[in-house]
Amino acid sequence: MAHTIPILTRAGQTKGEVTLPAGLFGIEPNEHVMYEAVRTYLANQRAGTVSKKTRAEVAGGGRKPWRQKHTGRARAGSNTVPHWVGGGLAFAPKPRDHRMKLPKKVKRLALRSALSSKAAAGEIRATEDIELAKVSTKDVAAILKAADAGAGKVLLVVRAADERLLMSARNIAKLIVLEAKELTTYHLLWADRVVLTEGALKAVEEVFGE
């Protein structure tokens, strides 16, 4: 199903209309594939550097803490056992690689499913391109307000981003700026509103279109 949405200016006026490509924004969303894509993304963000000591690695344990009998205390053979303060962990976590992989076709299907889900819910907005050389926090805020995306979590997708745009956008709470080529299923589902510039719409079709 094709969706047609207006292209808005910074002032909130309608500049024109754009028909979202049905192959990207009009398919039947596959929920399981989206789940797998989000699961893979989150797994790949994990550092996997946590490390704790087992009872073989903690200091101590060279001798029996006290004699076996006639002390009035429970028997103890080592001060490195897990139930003693300062002892090692029974199942100590060690550094590991959490990375997962998804086939390229599955990743693309998940992204198209997320875009289609957002389009069907009316959560996609289109705006005119941002002038990177002159952009400021005030400009970004005005663009979001004009696109009815001034509240909640917002994903702003642009064709290209520079340090000036990223610095301007970081002052706005709950806003993430991504280049079209960096778009992920996770970020699409995270956002309450997805705002794409004209250039970003073309780039998304170029990168992820069939």
CATH of the domain at 108: 3.40.1370.10
pLDDT at 185: 97
Do residues 114 and 14 share a domain?
Answer: yes
Total tally of structural domains belonging to the chain? 2
Instruction: Report the pLDDT value the prediction gives residue 96, as an integer from 0 to 100.
Output: 95
Domain boundary among 97, 117, 139: 97
Do residue 28 and residue 58 come from a single domain?
no
Rounded to a whole number, what is the largest CA-CA distance in the chain? 91
**Higher-scoring residue by pLDDT: 151, 97:** 97
Position 1 scores a pLDDT of 65
89 in the same domain as 57: yes
Helices (H), ranges, 45-160: 104-120, 137-146
Residues 6+ apart with CB under 8 A from 112: 23, 24, 25, 27, 208
One domain, residues 103 and 165: yes
Q: How confident is the model at residue 210 (pLDDT cuts 50, 70, 90)?
A: low
Q: Band the pLDDT of 153: cuts 50, 70, 90.
A: very high
Beta bridge partners of 178: 157
pLDDT of residue 148: 82
Distance CA 107, CA 112 (A): 9
Instruction: Return the H-helix or E-strand segment holding 22.
Output: helix 22-25
* Mean of the per-residue pLDDT values of the chain: 92
**Residues 122 and 165 both lie in one domain:** yes
| Strand ranges inside the chain, DSSP E | 3-8, 14-20, 124-127, 154-158, 175-179, 193-197
Asked if 97 contacts 48 with a C-beta cutoff of 8 angstroms, the reply is yes
Residues 90 and 151 in one domain: no
Segments forming the whole domain that contains residue 84: 47-97
